[in-house]
Amino acid sequence: MMGKVWLVGAGPGDPGLFTIKGREVLEQAQVVVYDRLVGEGVLNLIPRQAETIDAGKRAGNHTMPQEKINQVLLEKALEGKRVVRLKGGDPFLFGRGGEELALLAEQGVPYEVVPGVTSAFAVPAYCGIPVTHREFASSVHVITGHKKAGEQLQLDFKSLARLSGTLVFLMGVSAIPEICQGLLEAGMEPQMPAALLQQGTGAAQKKIITDLEHLPAKVKEQGVHLPAIFMTGRVCVLGNEFDWYEQLPLSGRKILVTRPIERSGTLSRRLRGLGAEVLELPAIRTELIENNQRLTEELERLAAYHYLVFTSPAGVDLFFRELKRQGKDIRALGTARLAAIGRGTRKELEERGLICTIMPEIYDGKHLGILLGETCQTGERLLIPRAEQGNPQLIEEIEKRVSVEITDLPIYRTVYENPNELIDEKKQIENGQIHMAVFTSASTVRGFAAAVQGLDYSLVHAVCIGAQTEAAAKKLGMRTKTAKKADLDSLVEACVNAAENLNIQEADHLWN
């Protein structure tokens, strides 16, 4: 059976700029051939079971020649595989996408093209530079600045100098002196605004705004970090006025989120919305305990319980999935009152049309136990469907206060995830590229430790959701900050506060 190839543009880096269709195609891929310019947030979307092939393709560092890439796409498709060729930006804008399709078309292999958001427009936008503006430029021109070693640029500088619009040069950082000199000699005014835009749409975004005459010297003085583009045109001056992205409270911060993959989305979106570059490391996952005879038996007699106590959103989800699988619905709960450890767990119940009437002000097992101990009547029955290794304080605090019948029912276990081999989180922490890590449970701390074995944990700035999570982080030697309340709003607020205080060179005294 013949396979198929999808040529997919991954955008400029920020996974929020990856298209919906691109994500849908990627999630179904069996083979992914990716470039170095693909953002880490998009790489994290590659299915774990997919075969991944690094094609390299960053300036001066080509892991695989273009002819070999073309051949790999053909071979994998002929094996009957769903193949995604994942390319930074847009595959048809200096991406050699047409070359990659030529061999497929010749061999009759089916293919599709999924356009991507080009860095030529997205990176200037994130730097506050509109590539067109009625008062400054009515046209934009995208030009490749790439040249082979030892060869001269094949650019018509006289024609470019006569253009009144914006010039955006891709893959031309090494040729900046030559391009600027060529434009000046062709008659472009030395005071024409110019900008170098580095690592756009991510935490390391940086820009240099000057003029055509002084750009090469400024770049040499400050250095360049790839990927980068440069541009000329009167619109460049607006980058200082419309500097929106770098004004966001978490701009310039790269944050590691360690929640289970099924629960990381909301937190990651919140942090990205505040300007952070988010790298997801699902350190743990939760899985239902299979062939759980005790759970089957308890689901048959739910109506006998006065209270159902849930200690995590995952517990709610797995409990009601199993209830449904056994052919039951919420009517099986009878008149039991519902208790939740915190707002996230309560929300999971509410989404199923269930009202939680018992929730502590401090969201942890100890305080939930205290509240239940003060609420329950002697002889009442409580069912606690939760993790295999549950917090013992919950039951201890109940039993200190009232004599009740408690059924502590393990329904799921926490499993440590293998890290994504395409991204080296340990190295990034050691290099200071990851500024903080967010932990939502002690389990995520332990899962993270398992994923980055050998790391000096004192390098980790940990933002923790609660005291137990903080204790686990401190035990490893991490520097910590803890949310005021054990909920998502407070956790995000703690990240913002940490970012305000976190000077990368002088942070030690600000962390516990």
Question: What one-character-per-residue DSSP string does 17-30 give?
Answer: GS-HHHHHHHHT-S
Tokens coding 298 = 């308890």
End-to-end CA distance of the chain: 59
Dist. CA 483–CA 222, nearest whole Å: 37
Dist. CA 319–CA 313, nearest whole Å: 10
SS3 of 247-260: the string is: HCCCCCCEEEECCC
The dihedral region occupied by 432, where left means phi > 0, alpha psi between -120 and 50, and beta the remainder, is left
- Contact partners, residue 399, CB within 8 Å, separation at least 6: 373, 406
Q: Is 35 a catalytic residue?
A: yes
Candidates 14, 21, 57, 147; catalytic one: 57
Dist. CA 451–CA 61, nearest whole Å: 28
**Running DSSP on this structure, what letter comes out for residue 133?**
B
Helix (H) or strand (E) holding 142: strand 140-144
Q: Tokens 């000699």 — which residue?
A: 185
Candidates 14, 35, 211, 317; catalytic one: 35
Helix (H, G, I), strand (E, B) or coil at 300: helix
Dist. CA 213–CA 408, nearest whole Å: 73
Dist. CA 263–CA 466, nearest whole Å: 17
Enumerate the active-site residues.
Answer: 35, 57
